[in-house]
Amino acid sequence: MTVRAALPARHWWSSIKTKLAVLVISLLGAISLFIYFYFPARQEHQALRALAAKAESIAGMSAFTVGPALFFRDPLTIDEALASARQNEELVYVEVCDSTQQVVAGFHRDREGRHQEVSPGSTSRDLYEMTRPILYADHQIGQLRLGLSLSQIAEESQRSRRSIALVSLVVFVLGMAAALAISALVTRPLARMVAAVEGISQGDLHQRVALITSDEIGLLASAFNRMVDSLEIARSELEEANRFLENRVAERTSELRQEIDERRRAEAEKTQLEEQLRQAQKLEAVGQLTAGIAHNFNNLLQAVSANIELAMVKGPPQVQDYLREAETAAMRGAGLVRQLMLFSRAGEQELRLRDVDLAEIVGTTVSLCRKTIDRRIELQLEIAPNLPRVQVDAGQLEQVLLNLYLNARDALEGGECRSPCIRTSVRLVCQVEHGEAPARDYVCIEVADNGVGMDAQTRERIFEPFFSTKEVGKGTGLGLATAYGILHRHQGWIECQSQVGQGAVFSLYLPAGTPAVAGIEVGISGLQPVPPHGTEALLVVDDDQQVRRSVARFLASLGYRVLEAGDGVQGLEVLNQQRGQISLVLLDLSMPGLSGLEVLARLRVQPLQPKVILFTGYATAREQFAGVAELVEKPFSIRQLSQVVRRVLDS
């Protein structure tokens, strides 16, 4: 179907002929007005300049000649001096005034050309007037006034305007005639082209424009004819293309349906990944908060445990039992802090990695649980053949599995399932990609139960520390949080799928065949019955006053000369004051101002470098700190610390 656009209505003022005529007439009119006004004005201006020069000459000569006569008050001589000025026909009047502006002599030319005396200040219209001072012996003794007639200039200006107006009119008429002729030459062939275009717009592609001239319009007509030929060919090609496109659209519609289905599946996967990312970010934020709390709590526990040990050394026998119970509670608090730091990934405790067979570890753990879990709960184990060995810390992995089994047991005991069952399976998953973990092969351990299950709100919070659905006193809420941290340190992750009434499935992913990054276990534990003594000078640098004082007080009781510093800057000042006398520096890693690392960097450049024991609330590898003799993890036993101090001093 061909859609034809209606041509706009034509008006006389919209034609090219009219527009061209208006343009030329406007241009000619502007030129004529310019000539009419510019040239007479210029001629009049030049005449005025000549008249002004003439007036300047007459005034200068007359003022010079009448100067002596005015000085001697000789009117007759003044009139004789003005006689030459009277010969000028343009001069209308001249006045000679004394220093009091009184007219002494002068004349005025009337209409008949007769001379008459004038009164002071009398003037007439159409005059060019000027005033000139009269000097005698370089002093002004009077003033000369004169006026020249402008009538001759006005008459000449009027004659010039009449002549120029006649010329402008002739130019305007001739220009209009030329404009009409030119517009006719241009618009006549264009009108023929418009008629041909109107026919083509009605669908008649056989219309052609006759070649009238060989100028630009003729070239335009020739190009127009070629365009029509191309349009006729293009119409036939377009019809063929339309038929092809209809078939192609049908095929593409089918393809788009398939793409839409695939995109919907991709959007669902994207939503799932975004949910996993939000959960990971949430746990990361909780982990950072937990790390900060654990670090500060470590310092508090260190101060408590150190003072308890001092009290046990110096206290009477009747309070020893109470102190031992307090020490046990402090150690339990330290264990709780270690679990918190493990979840937050701030506690990089040693991973005792070795190549293990997961089937053996899982089988051993299941066998242990069979002896402790209610026999009414069935334990199923499915292990895929030919599993690759993995690099893990067997003890930590067993801790994770035992925690999952105990949680599954509690979920089954709280439900009404007739056939309670805990199913464990181990299989290889190839080329898995999860969050920031690289795409590679992983070994997956699944622990599933058919217990009470969890709703979405509970499922989102299970890896948060201290979150528990158990009754008060039956759980700390750190089991799954610790499992999350352990799996992350092994470069793996843990997932949970659960619905209310349909049980829960926990999936552990561990990289196949690649070791995780291991640290070195630091810190000290256990009590030594006899703390070793010494006399060396020691420097304790710690921003926590309670920790610093308890350590310094205990070491001083062993005979050491102990100095204290509350931060890194003060510690460096003490070292400079006691240059070469301090044998050992006990340095805290985390301090305001200069941190422990910055103090270590300053110590490395000193010629006499004391030995350094580094305190840290984060267990990490000693290899990260060059020049450190020992790395001690808070909270520590100050009696064990005395053993480390003696060992470092004797080394």
- The CATH number of whichever domain residue 392 belongs to comes to 3.30.565.10
Per-residue pLDDT of 386-435, as tens digits, reads 888 888 877 778 878 888 888 888 888 766 667 788 888 888 888 777 76
Same domain, 546 and 499: no
- Are 326 and 381 spatial neighbours (Cβ–Cβ below 8 Å)? no
> What number is the average pLDDT over the span 522-547?
72
What is the rounded CA–CA span in Å between residue 590 and residue 597?
Answer: 8
Per-residue pLDDT of 632-649, as tens digits, reads 877 777 888 888 899 888
- Encoding tokens for residue 453? 């299950």
Looking at residue 444, its pLDDT comes to: 92
Could you tell me if residue 4 is inside a domain?
no
Amino acid at site 555:
L
Per-residue pLDDT of 469-525, as tens digits, reads 666 555 556 678 778 888 887 888 888 888 888 889 999 999 887 443 333 333 333
Same domain, 36 and 172: yes
Strands 504-511 and 493-498, sheet pairing: antiparallel
Domains of the chain: total: 3
Please state whether 177 falls in left (phi above 0), alpha (psi between -120 and 50) or beta.
alpha
Per the structure, the complete domain to which residue 639 belongs is given by 537-650
Main-chain dihedrals φ then ψ at residue 444, nearest 5 degrees: -110, 130
Instruction: Please tell me the least confidently modeled range out of 187-201, 260-274, 500-514.
Output: 187-201
> What number is the average pLDDT over the span 622-640?
75
Same domain, 435 and 565: no
> What number is the average pLDDT over the span 294-314?
74
- Encoding tokens for residue 151? 């009538």
> What number is the average pLDDT over the span 94-114?
75
- Are 623 and 641 spatial neighbours (Cβ–Cβ below 8 Å)? no
Could you tell me if residue 575 is inside a domain?
yes
Looking at residue 623, its pLDDT comes to: 57
User: Dihedral angle at the C-alpha atoms of 360, 365, 367, 371, nearest 10 degrees?
Assistant: 170
Looking at residue 112, its pLDDT comes to: 39
Average pLDDT, whole number, for the chain? 77
Instruction: Please tell me the least confidently modeled range out of 74-83, 150-159, 166-175, 205-214.
Output: 205-214
Last residue of a domain, one of 189, 207, 225: 207
**Beta bridge partner(s), residue 148:** 91, 128
In this predicted model, which residue has the larger pLDDT, 112 or 328?
328
Could you tell me if residue 297 is inside a domain?
no
Sorting pLDDT into bands at 50, 70 and 90, what band is 2? very low
Could you tell me if residue 273 is inside a domain?
no
**Beta bridge partner(s), residue 132:** 144
> What number is the average pLDDT over the span 238-263?
87
> What number is the average pLDDT over the span 179-199?
73
- Domain CATH for 116: 3.30.450.20
Could you tell me if residue 524 is inside a domain?
no
Last residue of a domain, one of 151, 186, 207: 207
- Domain CATH for 631: 3.40.50.2300
Main-chain dihedrals φ then ψ at residue 430, nearest 5 degrees: -95, 140
> What number is the average pLDDT over the span 521-538?
62
Asked whether the predicted pLDDT for residue 528 surpasses 60, the reply is no
Asked whether the predicted pLDDT for residue 209 surpasses 50, the reply is yes
Looking at residue 6, its pLDDT comes to: 46
Same domain, 172 and 30: yes
Could you tell me if residue 296 is inside a domain?
no
> What number is the average pLDDT over the span 447-462?
84
**Beta bridge partner(s), residue 432:** 440
Closest CA to 395 of 427, 429, 364: 364
- Sign, CA torsion 242/244/249/250: positive
What is the rounded CA–CA span in Å between residue 488 and residue 496?
Answer: 15
Q: b/e string for 302-314 if b means 16 or more Cβ within 10 A? A: bbbbbbbbbbbee
What is the rounded CA–CA span in Å between residue 156 and residue 151?
Answer: 9
Looking at residue 592, its pLDDT comes to: 81
Closest CA to 433 of 282, 262, 276: 276
Same domain, 396 and 502: yes
What is the rounded CA–CA span in Å between residue 546 and residue 645?
Answer: 20
Last residue of a domain, one of 169, 191, 207: 207
The fraction of the chain above a pLDDT of 70, given in percent, is 78
Looking at residue 470, its pLDDT comes to: 67
Same domain, 609 and 461: no
Same domain, 491 and 638: no
Same domain, 577 and 638: yes
- Encoding tokens for residue 469? 């659905």
What is the rounded CA–CA span in Å between residue 489 and residue 410?
Answer: 27
Could you tell me if residue 23 is inside a domain?
yes
Which pTM does this prediction carry?
0.37
Instruction: Please tell me the least confidently modeled range out of 311-320, 328-337, 502-511, 633-642.
Output: 328-337
Same domain, 42 and 174: yes
What is the rounded CA–CA span in Å between residue 444 and residue 239?
Answer: 61
Same domain, 425 and 495: yes
Could you tell me if residue 360 is inside a domain?
yes
Same domain, 591 and 498: no
DSSP reduced 3-state for 471: coil
Sorting pLDDT into bands at 50, 70 and 90, what band is 114? very low
Looking at residue 560, its pLDDT comes to: 92
Main-chain dihedrals φ then ψ at residue 561, nearest 5 degrees: -90, 110
Same domain, 635 and 554: yes
Looking at residue 561, its pLDDT comes to: 92
Asked whether the predicted pLDDT for residue 344 surpasses 60, the reply is no
What is the rounded CA–CA span in Å between residue 304 and residue 625?
Answer: 28
Looking at residue 523, its pLDDT comes to: 37
Sorting pLDDT into bands at 50, 70 and 90, what band is 563? very high
Residues with Cβ within 8 Å of 524's Cβ and at least 6 positions away in sequence, in order, are 632, 633, 636, 637, 640, 641, 643, 644
Asked whether the predicted pLDDT for residue 27 surpasses 70, the reply is yes
Looking at residue 196, its pLDDT comes to: 74
